[in-house]
Amino acid sequence: MYTLVVLLIAITIVSCSKDTVNETEAESAEFSENPLTIEQINQRISESIRTTGDFDWNNENAHFLWSALMHGQNVLTVGYGNEGQSFGEAGDADLQNKKRVYSLLFLLKKKFLKQTLNLKKMIF
């Protein structure tokens, strides 16, 4: 009985190790290619828009996404929210308030600097 338990544990460990190696090999093989060119990326996006009227990054493979990321200076923007929700159209109230405060501080600083310069001119 003891031998059977040890054998089952050994098989489990070996089979899990092989899965990890296979996943790593698949990932390295997938990204060993050169990235698509900017023209190829733009062409695929344009073709999708022409044929379907839309482009969805979710429908693209990992190589396409990686290529776009490489040409985008390694900057990736992740969106979140509900379907149909656009964060560019409706402003966030907290963000709008912060912008107003910063604008007010900027104007006050500008006015203060202008008054300081006028005062210096009067003195000298």
pLDDT per position as a tens digit, 96-105? 777 888 888 8
pLDDT per position as a tens digit, 20-59? 544 544 555 455 578 999 999 999 998 998 898 888 888 9
Helix residue ranges per DSSP H, 1-124: 2-30, 38-52, 62-71, 93-123
Q: Write down the domain spans for the chain.
A: 1-32, 35-78, 92-124
pTM: 0.42
Helix (H, G, I), strand (E, B) or coil at 95: helix
CA angle 68, 44, 61 (to 5 degrees): 55
